[in-house]
Amino acid sequence: MNIKTVLLIIFAVAVLLLVLLLIFQKKRKQKGKRSKYIDALYSLIDGDRTQALSFLTTAVKQGETDISAYLLLGNLLREQGEPEKALQIHMGLSVRKDLSSKEILEVQVSLADDFASLGRTEKAIKTLEKLSKKSRSKEMLFKLHTYYHKLQDYERSTEMLRELSRYDSEISKRTVASYMTSIANELYERGNVKGSKELLDKALKIDKDCPSAIFFLGKLATEDHDIKKASKMWHLLLDKDISYFEDVKRYLESSFYEGGDFDAFEEMLKELIDKNLNNAPIAVALASFYNKKGELGKAIDVLEDNIVSFNLAPYASIKLAELYIEKGNNRKAVEILQNVNFDERKRYYYKCPKCGYRSDLPLNYCSNCFKAVSFERSYENSNS
């Protein structure tokens, strides 16, 4: 072997070593460089959706092949108000041949959300219904529930919610009945009183103790001057939960006064106050009743017997002061009012604690944000 051959061999080995060294350094550099998709996930954890969107856009432009990056990018674009771009991305994913069954499901669900955001709710439903023939999930059933509701197909929306209860232990018969009550309220507000009543009757067949359904039926019976049914509903509701008394008081008075059954109203109030000692709203109602009958002394006695317990209910003290003024004892009235922490809140409504949706009824399901929550009383001239 001559010197020229030896030199060629040494040169070839050197070139090979150099190439291997460059490959190794490149791989090590790539390994140490974090994926933009991972950066996007960290941004989402930090609550910075705008930064996450930027990272995902960069990841896609750089050719990252992770399906989740494209899926998440589309979802964020939709949330940012660009459903058309989201649809393009997800449609592109849907034709890929390398998707797992789980990824196919995720892509189709995202497509349904895209269609819904574009106002193509029927297309969203068809997408999910087709997919549900192969597999069903909590997420899919909940979305179908909300989409059917948006189309005002309340029967199918209720069916989806009932089926969802088989997958989600938090969805109970009470949840379904409460949802039906919220729909009954929507029908009533649109003038469909008959449909509202029919739906409420169905709700009570699912859950005979559903408070919002009982309340609504009592309200409707009062409006229909069906005193017997109204009285039955109010008794049923208050036997189960006395906290509803302040909500139903005006309907109670209307029912009994209209029927002229004053003795029955008095007995009901006395029975309620015996069962619920120191309940200010009941005591004030009974005192007001006696006052209307002209029995001022009885009215004062009802409140005087429990006034110490009403320190958190200033309107009870105010009512007692009014009665003393009527009696001509202004000094006593002033003495009572000096210890009152005035609360001017009078007119109230009910609102969803999640989204703020307002209603005249104490509902237990919000058909605006689709949450099984109890509506809270809120006052017109307060921030609560």
Percentage, residues of the chain above pLDDT 90:
37
Compute the average pLDDT of residues 256-280. 82
The answer to whether 233 touches 217, Cβ cutoff 8 Å, is yes
Q: What is the pLDDT of residues 305-329, one digit of tens each?
A: 766 555 546 778 888 889 999 999 9
Cβ(146)–Cβ(162) below 8 Å: no
Q: Answer whether residue 348 shows pLDDT above 80.
A: no
The answer to whether the CB of 27 falls within 8 A of the CB of 9 is no
Whether residue 342 has pLDDT greater than 70: no
Q: What percent of the chain has pLDDT over 70?
A: 81
CA distances from 173 to 161, 206, 305 (A): 10, 6, 42
Euclidean distance between CA atoms 382 and 42, whole angstroms = 40
Residue 21 has pLDDT above 60, yes or no: no
Specify if 2 maps to a domain: no
Give the gyration radius of the chain's Cα atoms. Answer: 33
DSSP code, position 35: P
Does the pTM surpass 0.95? The reply is: no
Whole-angstrom distance, CA of residue 363 vs CA of residue 165: 20
Range of the domain at 298: 261-343
47: in domain:
yes
Distance CA 87, CA 55 (A): 19
* 53 located within any domain: yes
Supply the pLDDT for residue 28.
45
**Is there a domain that residue 210 lies in?**
no
CATH of the domain at 105: 1.25.40.10
Q: What is the mean pLDDT of the chain?
A: 83
**Interacting residues of 334 by C-beta distance below 8 A, sequence separation 6+:** 321
pLDDT at 32: 41
Does 325 map to a domain?
yes
Cα separation, 74 vs 105, whole angstroms: 15
Q: With H, G, I as helix, E, B as strand and everything else as coil, classify residue 331.
A: helix
pLDDT tens per residue, range 269-301: 888 888 887 788 888 899 999 998 899 999 999
Task: Among 50-54, 235-239, 278-282, 377-381, name the most confident range.
Answer: 235-239
Q: Look at residue 71 and tell me if it is in a domain.
A: yes
Read off the tokens for 302.
Answer: 């009802």
Characterize 277-310 residue by residue with b for buried, 16 or more Cβ atoms within 10 angstroms of its Cβ, and e for exposed: eebbbbbbbbbbbbbeeeeeeebbebbeebbeeb
Residue 30 has pLDDT above 50, yes or no: no
pLDDT at 313: 63
Q: How many residues does the chain have?
A: 384
pLDDT of residue 7: 57
Query: Looking at the 3D structure of the chain, how many domains does it have?
Result: 2
DSSP class per residue in 120-146: -HHHHHHHHHHHHTT---HHHHHHHHH
Question: For the segment 198-245, what is each residue's pLDDT rounded down to a tens digit?
Answer: 999 999 999 999 999 999 999 999 889 888 888 889 989 998 888 888
Q: Report residue 33's pLDDT band, with 50, 70 and 90 as the boundaries.
A: very low
Of the residues 85, 118, 135, which one is the last residue of a structural domain? 135
Spatial distance between the Cα atoms of 364 and 368, rounded to a whole number of angstroms = 12
Indicate the burial class of 380 (C-beta count within 10 angstroms; 0-12, 13-18, 19 or more): exposed
Domain-ending residue, one of 117, 135, 153: 135
Residue 105 within a domain: yes
Determine which helix (DSSP H) or strand (DSSP E) holds 351, and give its type and residue range: strand 348-351
Residue 270 inside a domain? The answer is yes
